[in-house]
Every structure is written in C-alpha cells, then in structure tokens.
Amino acid sequence: MTERSRFLGQRIARLLREIYPDVDADILSSMVIDAFWPEGTTRRKRARVSGNKLWSEQDALLITYGNSIIDGAHKPLDLLYDFLCSYLSGTLNSVHILPFFPYTSDDGFAVSDFRSVNSQLGDWPDINRIAGEFTLMSDLVLNHVSSQGSWFNAYLQGQPSYDRFFFEASPDDDLSQVVRPRTTPLLKKVETANGPRHVWCTFSHDQIDLDFRNPEVLLEFLRIIRLHVDNGVQIVRLDAVAFLWKEVGTPSIHLPQTHAIIQLMRLLCDYASERIILLTETNVPKAENLSYFGNGQEAHAIYNFPLPPLILHAMMSGNGEYLRRWQRGMPPAPMGCAYLNFTASHDGIGMRPAEGLLPEDEKQQMIETVKEIGGLVSMRALPDGSENPYELNTTFYDALSRTFKGVDEHHHARFICSQTIVMSLEGIPAFYIHAMLATPNDHGQVEHRGMNRAINRHRWDYPTLRELLADPASPQARVLDDLSARLKLRKKQTAFHPNATQFTVNLNDDRVFGIWRQSLDRHQSIFALHNVSDDHVTVPSAAINLIEDQDWFDLIGNASIDASAEDITLLPYQCMWITNRR
C-alpha cells in the first residue's frame, strides 16, 4: 500500500469511527475502498481541491421524468433524447432524469432494483446516450426501497445480512418526536421468518426505510454509486437524505451520523477520477438546509428550497420584501460548493422552507390563491397529532395565472419574471420540464392516480407537443422561446458564474427585487432588476450606483442605459440585466 493510499484509508477510517464506533474501522475502510473502486477502476492520487471549477455560467439543468414525453410507439428515453437535442441543445447542458429504475409506487421513488433501468423507459444504452450529450443527474434513493423489491423480500425470509437491512421499532417506543413529511402511520407490521416485526416507513408503507446501522447497507449503496457513475452519471442526488439515520426517542432527522455518511461520500467523490457532484435533497427550513454544506466537506451542492415559496409569494403579492429580506441574509456558498436554484420541481411547492420567512397570513393567502386556480394542498403530521400544510400542488405556470388581486393580462410576463430571478441568483439554475413547457394543471391525472402530486406530472404526447411548439402563439412555444433566449444570453455572462459575487440591492421599493453580481475576475458587473408587480416602477439610477464613466447596457432589453440619467423605468414584470461588459 502506498503512502497516499494509506492516508486515504486513514481519512475514511476516521469518519467510519464516528458512524460505527463498535466496528473495526480499518477493516471497514478497506471494504469501503473496494466497494467504491472495484478491480479495474482507478482513483486520483490526491483529493480534488475545493474550488469553483466543477461548474460555470454555462451550466443549467432540466428536471424531468424519463416518461414526461410519450407517443405510444417509441421508448420514452428515445423521445426525451430527441426533445433535448431538438429543442434544448445550446440552452441547457444538464438533465436530471428522475428515478429511471424499476419501481412500485411514488413515481419511481419506491425503487425495486437500483441496478436496472425501467424497461418501460428503455435500457442502460439509452441512459448512456443522453449522458454522452448532457451532464446527467440521477437519484440515489437511499432512505428507503420498495416493499416489493428483492431486498425486502429477502428480509421477510430472514436471509442473512438482509435480515438487518431494514429499520425496526416497536409501537411501544416513544416516537412522538419523529419529524414526518407525511400523515400515514410511521410503523408497518409485517410477518417475517423471525416472527412479526414493525418496520419504519417515513414516506409510505410501500417505502420501507433502510437501517444504515448495518454497514452492509452503506457498502451496497457505494457499489450502486459506482455502477451509476460507470454509466455516465456525474451528479448524484441524495434523495430524502435528512432522514437517513434513525434513533428511537429522537426526531430522527439531521442526526450526526447522517452528516458523517455524506462526508464519507464526499471524500470518495473528491478522490474519484471521474467528476462526481453530490447534491443533497433536504426540503427543510433554511438553517437545517444549509447544514448540509457542512464546513465545505459535505454536499457539493444543495437545493435552495426557500426559493419556490418566496418567489411565488413575491409574484402573487407584487411585493418582494420577504424574498429580499431572505436573500440578504443568505451566505455565499462555501468554497467548492454551490446552490441549486429552482422554482418548480416534480414535487409540490414546499411550505416548510417558508417557516419563519413568511407571516402566517401571507402563507394562507398563497394557499387560497393556489386553490382558486385549481391547485391542491398536501399536509404533514405534527408530533401533537395535528396537521400542517407541507406543500402546494400545482404547476408553477398555472400558479402564476392570477395574483392576490385576481386574474389579469400579465400571466406570461409574470411567469417569465419568476424564472429570470432563478437565472440571476448565485448558484446553478434548474428548470422542471413542465415549467419550460408552460404545462397546465393535470386534474385528470389526480383523479386517475389518486395523488395530489400527479397534478404537476403531466405526460406530454410528443406529436401534440411538437404541434404546439411549432405554433409561435401557443403558451408552450412562447415560454420555451423566451426562457431559451434568456438562458442562451445568461451562459455568455461571467458575472453569472455560480460562485460569482452577489450582493442584494436595497432599492427602497419592494416591487423590485434587485441583486448585483460580479464576475470572479471582477471584470463584469450585472445589476439584475426584477419588477415583481403589475405597476410601472421607476428606480433612481443612484440606487444601483452605475459608474458614470462606463457604458452600461441592458442585455435583456438590448438597449443602452444612460448612467447619468436620474431614473430607470421598468414595465410590469419587466426584468433587466444591466452590465458594463457584453
């Protein structure tokens, strides 16, 4: 063993002692290395140095299911590849294909086999082809597996190793503190070869929680990461990772062992010869979410979960006060880390991240407005037995079809403004396919499938979609064209690097949300102004401190800006990217 290999083993062993104090950390360290780097693979001699070169202003991500586009004749992954190449090449360079494995429920998040591609979508060569053209993100659904998968069947049969794969508890245990994202009972009684057991189910009774106290569970997931990386995955999304480690008598969320496991995975990724980015999915309030950066040694990237409810509120109310107040208090991502910014996703618009950021009456007005446009609300159970809104279920496009005032003629401009804010902020922008395609709420799917989230999981018939995109007057064509144009413009601006300097501008007018971005080399500045209201708003030039002896230009409006003029006027929902260098 070389000195460098010994050093890596020692670093791994230190983390393993935190996670498994009763296991021989040196032996387990060797097993970890063999799981992540099996025979025939290589690793770096030194860990990748933390920096800002894992991403750039060129990066933007599409979020989609493997079957968001269908036609009844071709493999959905073939259609997705065609859509990406035909409509988004040069616009977005990355794609998150939501769980594309065999599953039994929750649209892929009850995985029955992590090593196969769902045959209804395609196969590994179809995934490889997409990964050859776009940076690919996949889901590591590591908190739970399907109750009908081979792992749980082996557990029920009492097969060695698998008989300790799943977390058990007793109905007599004190589970009152457990944080729940759902209202279903936490425990499920099952009959096993070793007698009756109660297994832990954070999300549903078809999604059985794994027991990471068994090191074999961790080793198996490291082997799965290797398989996915070997098939072209470059971004690994750690789904529901906050719930990973459980202890009876605790909230069983954000426990120290969970953070240590993420640190271990980050260490392995930093030694990988391939570029691997870890993204944590933790739909929780701000401080809890930020904790997954650790000290720069945990996740490479985290979702900016407060953005969806805060942007939705700003656009509905015409008031960016709460968005600005939150953004002003957000720290820059640590070195080697980045935010993933978004408004719409396959899930609903989470309300937990808005806790402490929006007053209760403002949240209630959002809920009522979403209901008025036909949206739904999903609840979560609280420790005292009561329920609280967990998420709003609607497409983001339909959600912005009205404001607190009612319906108006600004729907399109309001929606484009909401997505432009995502493009302007520090971090990597991500867009759900149904935001890019102005998809309306799918009430038929809700009725057919009996789940609120189906409202935002429409499956487009590809011939129909192509016809709509060929019609420049359709909402689908208008939104895709406008968002694509801004994304193509954005990728040319060094001031939009995910780690470029950001400062929240206080304009003394809550109708305009403004931020200043400066490139890493300090050569380019961009003042990004977003009118979140239906008013014509005048902003004093002095408020954004344009240097008078420089030429300033609005990239979006393709117009020069006179720095000596007293005022800048924004039309309803207008956005400006005012720069000194184009």
Q: Quick check: is 87 in a domain?
A: no
Is 347 a known ligand-binding residue?
A: yes
Q: Checking phi first, is residue 46 left (phi over 0); if not, alpha (psi -120 to 50) or beta?
A: beta
Residue found by looking up tokens 């360290």 in the block: 29
Is 59 a known ligand-binding residue?
A: no
CA distance readout (Å), 84 to 63, 130, 494: 11, 9, 25
Residue from 61, 79, 140 nearest 459 by CA: 79
pLDDT attached to residue 462: 98
Q: Quick check: is 205 in a domain?
A: yes
pLDDT in tens, the chain (582 residues): 566 678 899 999 999 999 999 999 999 999 999 999 999 999 999 999 888 999 999 999 999 999 999 999 999 999 999 999 999 999 999 999 999 999 999 999 999 999 999 999 999 999 999 999 999 999 999 999 999 999 999 999 999 989 999 999 999 999 999 998 888 999 999 999 999 999 999 999 999 999 999 999 999 999 999 999 999 999 999 999 999 999 999 999 999 999 999 999 999 999 999 999 999 999 888 889 999 999 999 999 999 999 999 999 999 999 999 999 999 999 999 999 999 999 999 999 999 899 999 999 999 999 999 999 999 999 888 888 788 899 999 999 999 999 999 999 999 999 999 999 999 999 999 999 999 999 999 999 999 999 999 999 999 999 999 999 999 999 999 999 999 999 999 999 999 999 999 999 988 899 999 999 999 999 999 999 999 999 999 998 888 888 877 889 999 999 999 888 878 999 999 999 999 987
User: 570 forms bridges with which residues in the sheet?
Assistant: 537
Residue 119 CA from chain centroid, whole number: 25
Is 144 a known ligand-binding residue?
A: yes
Rounded to the nearest 10 degrees, what angle do helices 3-19 and 256-271 cross at? Answer: 160
> For the chain, how are helix, strand and coil distributed in percent, rounded to 5?
35, 20, 45
Q: Which residues contact 188 (CB under 8 A, 6 or more apart)?
A: 147, 198, 199, 201, 205, 208
Structure tokens at 467: 């016809």
Residue from 471, 467, 484 nearest 431 by CA: 484
Q: How far apart are CA 198 and CA 147, in angstroms?
A: 13
Q: Quick check: is 66 in a domain?
A: no
Q: How far apart are CA 135 and CA 95, in angstroms?
A: 6
Amino acid, res. 75 = K
Q: Quick check: is 188 in a domain?
A: yes
pLDDT attached to residue 154: 98
CA distance readout (Å), 466 to 354, 432, 437, 456, 463: 37, 18, 11, 20, 5
Is 346 a known ligand-binding residue?
A: yes
Structure tokens at 47: 């860990």
Burial group, residue 501, by CB count within 10 angstroms (0-12, 13-18, 19+): middle
- pTM listed for this prediction: 0.96
pLDDT attached to residue 469: 98
The CATH number of the domain holding residue 157 is: 3.90.400.10
pLDDT attached to residue 179: 93
Q: Quick check: is 154 in a domain?
A: yes
pLDDT attached to residue 3: 62
Burial group, residue 133, by CB count within 10 angstroms (0-12, 13-18, 19+): middle
Q: Which residues contact 229 (CB under 8 A, 6 or more apart)?
A: 236, 272, 274, 276
Q: Quick check: is 6 in a domain?
A: no
pLDDT attached to residue 183: 86
CA distance readout (Å), 235 to 38, 45, 118, 427: 20, 22, 20, 15
Is 523 a known ligand-binding residue?
A: no
Q: Quick check: is 314 in a domain?
A: no
Residue 185 phi, psi dihedral angles, 5° rounding: -60, 145
User: 527 forms bridges with which residues in the sheet?
Assistant: 516, 578
Active site residues: 239
pLDDT attached to residue 6: 84
Q: Quick check: is 67 in a domain?
A: no
pLDDT attached to residue 429: 98
Under 8 Å between Cβ of 142 and 241 = yes
Residue found by looking up tokens 């297994």 in the block: 199
Which structural domain range is residue 177 located in?
A: 144-209
Count of the separate structural domains present in the chain:
1
Is 266 a known ligand-binding residue?
A: no
pLDDT attached to residue 542: 82
Strands 512-518 and 387-393: unpaired
